[in-house]
A and B are shown apart, each in its own frame.
Chain A
């Protein structure tokens, strides 16, 4: 058997695959956080809750309405995005004039509320969701076996990340968004409805979280804690990468997933903390984060 770093190669590749999958979720979630932060200047603590709701909506669509995974992939983000839009218009928009920390506290409370409500309804053990038949099974890549659904998640995440990056960095709408991030007053004076743009941005950000939630549903147990467990790591990713650039958020997300995967092979007991330790090291070496300006 081939050995790498003194470990059997299939084990290493298997862990790396898990790492890339985790990295896909880190990338999609930190990208959404960065988009929201750019325009709203708040860190959305409810992002993990939105991810979790996205997964539950997917489950609900199938079990109550018989709507399958492929439609959920579109419907769930739309539903959660619409809820996010309403939330921004009614609640979050009230606090922009306050200290930035109030936005954090508000969404923190929101996350608690949503998570508690879901725990009351579904218990903490949650429900399970099967991957569509066409994506079940395993592919033999020669050097390792790849479960088809996992391959699909990585493929989808890369497409989603690229599409969002392209939309923001290369299109007219993205240019508008970036301009509003730089100077909202000026953009408004050009006749752009900035409050509307802000609400849509928040909706888009949480829709991304929900989309990640749909992809996660067949992979993990769909339970009320699934978002909060993941989002704490994503926050560390955000500290490492900084929230200044979409590309930076994507790269950092994938990179941290891979580092986590390597760590699981080399030193399994450290798996839960490796991202946080990397964060501490980055803070020592580059306090502003890898892609950030000092704030």
Chain B
């Protein structure tokens, strides 16, 4: 149904049920954070899992989305849907430019280029104090009222908006992966010269996937900025790029539910280990190493492998 396998349909039903119940059990803010990062990681997984390109600079699009949404909400008082869409468009525009540069090289070089380009964005964010607030960030971002009529100050009201964005984003990513376009993307990852010889312009497909990932990152960043009412250099910095990659490999590269589980684990780790300070970095580094050495399928990938199905 809807291109879902049976197992995926069950998993999706479970996901929706969790999204509905979660705000009554956990802090809604934390669950919203998980959903924002999950959306961000789903985009990164399009790159890593579908077309096999590792970007180490996804924070650029996440951060720019957050800054644009936050700036529009605070300085112009625009409504949240406009702010979030603007964040997504900003991510898309930046992704279109950077992707155009980065797809000229492959594998390791691609990763290094995305990292370097994200550095440019970070340094600009540090210096453009008029817009980004520099070290202080943009503070006190108002959530406003959805379409100008439904105030989002209540966490549950905001939660409904974030949940809708998250679920729609998930269905969109699933649709992309299972579309004819997604099939070509898989073919390019499996054997690029052959896909090219069949007449597919591999670079165009890579570029589009890159832009999609950047767009999702921008939307996720914009949404997160409104949820927390603050946008800082952390979101645009290198450690955020590392985190999203960790989410993807921990959850399971190339699975549609993996990035969600990965985001859940990483955000939960940050939340519970925050009092330990720098230990968070050490533990994340250790998880990174363990994932690469012994747990390459990730949580969902391993589960799907055991159940002999696709998730």
Query: Which A residues fall within an 8 A CB radius of B?
Result: 37, 42-43, 91, 94-95, 98-102, 104-106, 108-117, 119-120, 228, 232, 235-236, 238-239, 269, 272-273, 275-277, 279-280, 283-284, 287-289, 295
Contacts and interface: CB of A to CB of B under 8 A. Distances in A.
The secondary-structure label for the interface of chain A is: helix
A112 B292 contact: no
Contacts of B124: 273
B11 interface: no
A109 B288 contact: yes
B279 A120 contact: yes
Contacts of B289: 91, 106, 109-110, 113
Interface centre among B111, B116, B123 (most CB of A within 10 A): B116
Given A104-B111, A111-B285, A280-B117, A119 B249 contact: no
Given A101-B107, A283-B101, A273 B120 contact: yes
Contacts of A109: 284-289, 291-292
A29 B109 CA distance: 17
A276 B120 contact: yes
Contacts of A287: 104-105
How many B residues are at the interface, by size bracket?
35 or more
Contact of B101 (A115, A284, A295): A284
A99 B48 CA distance: 12
B238 A43 contact: no
Nearest to A121: B278
A279 B285 contact: no
B112 A110 contact: no
A43 B113 contact: no
Interface centre among B112, B126, B238, B280, by most A CB within 10 Å?
A: B112
A244 B120 CA distance: 25
Contacts of A116: 278-282, 284-285
B17 interface: no
B157 to A, nearest CB: 37
Contacts of B112: 43, 235-236, 238-239
B242 A108 contact: yes
Indicate the member of A113, A115, A277 with the most B CB atoms within 10 Å.
Answer: A113
Contacts of B280: 116
Contacts of B108: 37, 42-43, 100-101, 104, 295
Contacts of A275: 116
Contacts of B126: 272
B286 A232 contact: no
A288 B109 CA distance: 10
Given A105-B292, A232-B116, 5 more contacts: A100-B107, A108-B245, A110-B285, A114-B285, A295-B109
A101 B111 contact: yes
A235 B108 CA distance: 10
Given A100-B108, A112-B284, A287-B104, A91 B293 contact: yes
A116 B286 CA distance: 10
B127 interface: yes
Contact of A95 (B101, B249, B288, B293): B293
Contact of B116 (A42, A108, A110, A236): A236
Interface in B93-108: 101, 104-108
A238 B281 CA distance: 26
A91 B286 CA distance: 12
17 contacts: A43-B108, A101-B108, A102-B296, A104-B54, A109-B291, A113-B288, A115-B281, A116-B282, A120-B278, A120-B279, A232-B119, A239-B109, A239-B113, A272-B127, A273-B123, A277-B120, A287-B105
Nearest to A37: B108
B130 interface: no
B292 A102 contact: yes
B133 to A, nearest CB: 17
Contacts of B281: 112-113, 115-116, 119
